[in-house]
């Protein structure tokens, strides 16, 4: 089976968010399932500088205002199709933003071009490779199925299309006056097509027109159909609910491996052996010895992450001998709140900054991780924590709900619990959960069992790869 992945970012070449991790991880995980996946990426400077031995497989003299070449190559273990269109992608700044921090004004055209070339490949433009399925990621690839359906004439083979939502907050809006410039068929400019209240909405276009839709966890798939989470597209997702599935992301279990982690003080394969890492973590954060659980937060400091609720609930942990080490960055106001709280509490230590190595040491040294997010499509830190035998205390939302088995009496009796879920999410219920955490921590045999269960969870990409492969196969079989 041949699959073309169309995306605006891909680890390790270019990353601004979790989307890049999924796009970069899936090809090798899917290879084990018999899927050959090629990734179509824009030729940003970072991408162009990392590729060599390229072969031109397509030339387009007028791709949205300039000439473009499609270059096939192999880099970082990936089969790539790089869209070398300097007028669109070879620029300073970040991949979406100008150096002054504003969106590039031609972002709609830049990613329409990516989608256009994805559609051309799907319609058979390459001499020796036509995909069976096109896998499109987020709004940047959303117009692909619109172009594809326009390009496929009767009798031509049309690949199946799958649209994946990683972040519904970004939808690729453009004024309807750009319809011709974006090469959009006039007959799609209505609420059942790509129009959203008088504007062009690239994500909506993909959600309306792709054969199948996915998002990054089963719970988030259900949540997206509700107004609190759907960001205005809940109605579209309700309509397409039969086509929508949630497939949990995995993590790179080679990079996140407590038995072989270069950042970690003492390697371990069982939670009982975390002790030296806990001492090292306390020393690194300047925390004293204490009787209660050593908790961590590794997070962006934004409204989404619910850390204002944690700040309010924190006495419930600190007064029972617990501690918190926090690593994060965000708005100056939130950073200052946490700094000030740390100055008042000896059991709280705060590091403001982004520090990958420290994040690894925190996972290894902590007893528990706190993730009280208001929404969380999948979430990664709770998955790292499970792998490191660090008990997750999470909000009952999105991927957090799907990856943590709460320590209810029934789950404790059955011996399957891996963490604690907070519901409903409020400062008060979080305080109750922090009290539960301290009690569980003091019950040594139960605590050890929960930590062992956590470490036994399968958090790699294998399961996701099987689910995507099954979805692709189903599509191809349906089409046959």
Q: Give the binding site for ligand ADP (CB under 6 A).
A: 17-18, 298-300, 327-329, 354-356, 359, 378-381
Residue 368: CB minimum distance to ligand ADP, A? 16
**DSSP character for 303?**
G
Nearer to ligand ADP, 240 or 305 (CB): 305
Determine how many CB atoms are found less than 10 A away from the CB of residue 311. Answer: 18
Residue 289: CB minimum distance to ligand ADP, A? 26
Nearer to ligand ADP, 99 or 254 (CB): 254
Report how far residue 262's alpha carbon sits from residue 475's, in angstroms, rounded to the nearest whole number.
Answer: 42
Residue 136: CB minimum distance to ligand ADP, A? 20
Nearer to ligand ADP, 209 or 277 (CB): 277
Report how far residue 281's alpha carbon sits from residue 276's, in angstroms, rounded to the nearest whole number.
Answer: 9
Nearer to ligand ADP, 117 or 294 (CB): 294
Nearer to ligand ADP, 3 or 359 (CB): 359
**Which residue is listed with tokens 């929404």?**
375
Residue 356: CB minimum distance to ligand ADP, A? 5
Report how far residue 90's alpha carbon sits from residue 42's, in angstroms, rounded to the nearest whole number.
Answer: 9
Residue 264: CB minimum distance to ligand ADP, A? 14
Report how far residue 172's alpha carbon sits from residue 37's, in angstroms, rounded to the nearest whole number.
Answer: 25
Residue 17: CB minimum distance to ligand ADP, A? 6
Residue 374: CB minimum distance to ligand ADP, A? 11
Report how far residue 157's alpha carbon sits from residue 173's, in angstroms, rounded to the nearest whole number.
Answer: 30
Nearer to ligand ADP, 21 or 132 (CB): 21
Nearer to ligand ADP, 68 or 400 (CB): 400
Residue 258's alpha-carbon distances to 276, 372, 381, in angstroms, are 13, 24, 14
Residues 6+ apart with CB under 8 A from 21: 11, 15, 249, 252, 380
Nearer to ligand ADP, 26 or 298 (CB): 298
Tokens at residue 457, please?
């969870």
C-alpha angle 223/229/233, rounded to 5°?
100
Q: What does residue 136 show for φ and ψ, rounded to 5 degrees?
A: -110, 135
Query: Which of 235, 47, 229, 213 lies closest to 141 in space, CA to CA?
Result: 213
Residues 6+ apart with CB under 8 A from 361: 263, 264, 265, 277, 280, 281, 284
Conformational region of residue 321, where left means phi above 0, alpha means psi within -120 to 50, and beta covers everything else: left
Stated length of the chain: 480
Answer positive or negative: Cα dihedral of 440, 444, 449, 454.
positive
Residue 227: CB minimum distance to ligand ADP, A? 21
Residue 268: CB minimum distance to ligand ADP, A? 20
Residue 437: CB minimum distance to ligand ADP, A? 20
Report how far residue 403's alpha carbon sits from residue 458's, in angstroms, rounded to the nearest whole number.
Answer: 10
Residue 302: CB minimum distance to ligand ADP, A? 8
C-alpha angle 298/302/307, rounded to 5°?
60
Nearer to ligand ADP, 144 or 325 (CB): 325
Report how far residue 147's alpha carbon sits from residue 144's, in angstroms, rounded to the nearest whole number.
Answer: 5
Query: In the β-sheet with 323-330, what is the strand arrangement from edge to edge?
Result: 348-352, 323-330, 294-301, 368-371, 391-395, 420-422
Nearer to ligand ADP, 161 or 299 (CB): 299
Nearer to ligand ADP, 298 or 318 (CB): 298
């Amino acid at each position: 089976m041949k699959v073309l992945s169309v995306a605006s970012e891909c680890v390790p070449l270019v990353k601004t968010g979790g989307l890049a991790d999924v796009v970069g991880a899936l090809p090798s995980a899917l290879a084990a399932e018999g899927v050959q996946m090629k990734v179509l990426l824009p030729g940003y400077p970072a991408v162009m500088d990392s590729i060599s031995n390229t072969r031109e497989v397509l030339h387009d003299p007028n791709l949205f205002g300039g000439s473009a070449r499609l270059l096939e190559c192999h880099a970082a273990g990936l089969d790539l199709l790089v869209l070398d269109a300097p007028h669109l992608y070879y620029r300073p700044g970040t991949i979406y933003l100008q150096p002054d921090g504003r969106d590039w004004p031609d972002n709609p055209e830049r990613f329409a071009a990516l989608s256009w070339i994805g559609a051309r490949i799907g319609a058979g433009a390459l001499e020796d490779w036509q995909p069976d399925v096109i896998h499109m990621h987020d709004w940047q690839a959303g117009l692909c199925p619109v172009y594809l359906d326009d390009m496929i004439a009767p009798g031509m083979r049309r690949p199946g299309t799958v649209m994946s939502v990683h972040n519904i907050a970004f939808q690729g809006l453009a004024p309807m006056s750009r319809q011709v410039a974006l090469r959009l068929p006039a007959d799609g400019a209505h609420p059942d097509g790509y129009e959203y209240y008088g504007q062009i909405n690239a994500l909506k276009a993909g959600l309306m027109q792709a054969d199948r839709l996915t998002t990054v966890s089963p719970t988030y798939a259900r949540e997206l159909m509700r107004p609190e989470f759907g960001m205005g597209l809940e109605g579209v997702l309700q309509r397409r609910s039969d086509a929508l599935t949630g497939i949990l992301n995995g993590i790179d279990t080679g990079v996140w491996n407590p038995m072989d982690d270069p950042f970690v003080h003492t390697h371990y394969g069982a939670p009982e052996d975390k002790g030296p890492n806990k001492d090292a973590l306390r020393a690194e954060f300047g925390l004293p010895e204490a009787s209660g659980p050593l908790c961590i937060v590794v997070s962006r400091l934004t409204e989404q992450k619910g850390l204002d609720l944690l700040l309010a609930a924190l006495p419930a942990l600190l007064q029972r001998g617990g501690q918190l080490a926090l690593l994060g960055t965000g708005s100056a106001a939130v950073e200052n709140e946490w700094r000030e709280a740390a100055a008042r509490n000896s059991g709280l230590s705060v590091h403001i900054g982004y520090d990958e190595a420290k994040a690894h040491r925190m996972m290894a040294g902590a007893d528990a991780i706190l993730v009280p997010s208001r929404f969380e499509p999948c979430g990664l830190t709770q998955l790292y924590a499970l792998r490191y035998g660090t008990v997750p205390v999470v909000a009952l939302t999105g991927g957090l709900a799907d990856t943590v088995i709460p320590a209810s009496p029934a789950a404790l009796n059955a011996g399957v619990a891996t963490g604690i879920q907070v519901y409903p999410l409020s400062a008060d219920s979080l305080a109750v959960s922090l009290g539960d955490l301290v009690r569980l921590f003091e019950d040594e045999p139960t605590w050890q069992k929960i930590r062992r269960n956590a470490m036994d969870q399968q958090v790699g990409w294998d399961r996701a790869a099987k689910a995507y492969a099954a979805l692709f196969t189903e599509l191809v079989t349906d089409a046959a």
